[in-house]
Chain A
Amino acid sequence: MKNFNIQEEEFIKSLFSEIGSESPSIDFHKRIISKIEKKNSIAYQPLISPFALKLIVAGILFIGIITLIIVPGDETSISYLTKITELTPSILNLKFPTLGIPKIQFGSIFNTALLAFSLLMFSWIIYTSKRLRVE
């Protein structure tokens, strides 16, 4: 029995060495590499680094503040920069009188459209964020 098993074992060994291994297609490894390359290139990489983004935000804020301070609201008003010299103890009463924001009157159609757009935008943001979370 033992002899038979050894014989069987040797025979099966010889079968496997005879057939050897199977070969995949010639460009098998190349296809995997190109898949990896493709996947790596799609990977999310922010175009602007977080530092640059902070710098841009700081720049915009700086420009905004400078505009408030230097540019007068209209022809009659004086700039805040000029007022600084007049200011001594009343720093708490600071206002921004120079900033003349025009009051814009929209029509009812525009307001409705804006509202509809905002609602659509809001629902789209929720949908996209959920989908991204799932992915």
Chain B
Amino acid sequence: MGLIASQDRMHFKEDSFYIEKTLEGDLNAFGQLIQKHEKYAYTLAFRILKNQEEAEEAAQDAFMKVYYSLNSFEGKSKFTTWLYKIIYNEALGRLRRSKRILVNLDEIKDTKENPTEFKSGMEQLQIEERKTLIKKALNSIKPTESAILTLFYLEQQSIKEIEQITDLTESHIKILLHRGRKSLLASLQKITNQELINLL
């Protein structure tokens, strides 16, 4: 588990502890398990659906599914991998039902921007403004790319784990990561430039 994620979950016990207790009928233990993972589960759903309410509903439904199929969790993979797979599928399912466009790999052109150029621009902005801009940029990229980037950088899942979560091939994930990075940087550059122009 990544550093950011593990710091957030430090005061919690191992997943297996809560799983065992939940299977014994302790609903409070499941509550603890939700609290341990809710932020990252919700973030993943939010990156795909890009809507607070929908993301909460998707995450809630996913946790319900987790509860009712917990006895089928064999522990072969990490609990988070299993949880994120359910969240990912639930959020994508909702996205498909709402008929929003998922991903078209050929749509995004490779940009040749230099990160250092707008890095200095970014540094001129206040922390909160920067956060807002980054989130804005993330929201503007395709849901699958956003989800893969979140899994890789925020949840710090390995490519193998992302393969299990998304049921995509390794090469497909690498393409999505590459495209995602490019789209994020392009979007960020565009937004930052606009913001800097507004500040001047």
Contacts and interface: CB of A to CB of B under 8 A. Distances in A.
Do A and B pair up? The answer is yes
Given A23-B39, A28-B38, A33 B153 contact: no
Nearest to A40: B27
Contacts of B43: 21-22
A16 B27 contact: no
Contacts of A107: none
B60 A32 contact: yes
A23 B135 CA distance: 13
Contacts of A28: 34, 38, 42, 56, 59-60
A84 interface: no
Contact of A35 (B59, B64, B130, B131): B64
A15 B136 CA distance: 12
A124 interface: no
Nearest to A23: B39
A31 B42 CA distance: 14
Interface in A13-62: 13, 15-25, 28-33, 35-37, 39
Contacts of B40: 21
Nearest to B188: A15
B39 A24 contact: yes
Contacts of B134: 15, 18-19
A20 B154 CA distance: 7
Interface string B104-119: 0000000000111001
Contacts of B59: 24, 28
Interface string B122-150: 00000000110011001000000000011
B91 interface: no
Nearest to A13: B153
Contacts of A21: 4-5, 8, 39-40, 42-43, 154
A96 interface: no
Given A12-B153, A19-B134, A29-B38, A24 B115 contact: no
Interface of B: 4-5, 8, 27, 30-31, 34-35, 38-40, 42-43, 46, 55-56, 59-60, 63-64, 67, 114-116, 119, 130-131, 134-135, 138, 149-150, 153-154, 181, 184-185, 188
Given A15-B188, A21-B8, A21-B40, 17 more contacts: A11-B115, A12-B153, A12-B184, A15-B153, A21-B154, A22-B43, A23-B42, A24-B38, A24-B59, A25-B56, A28-B38, A29-B35, A32-B34, A32-B67, A33-B34, A35-B64, A36-B30
Closest 8 CB pairs of A and B: A16-B153, A29-B34, A24-B42, A21-B39, A21-B43, A22-B43, A11-B115, A16-B154
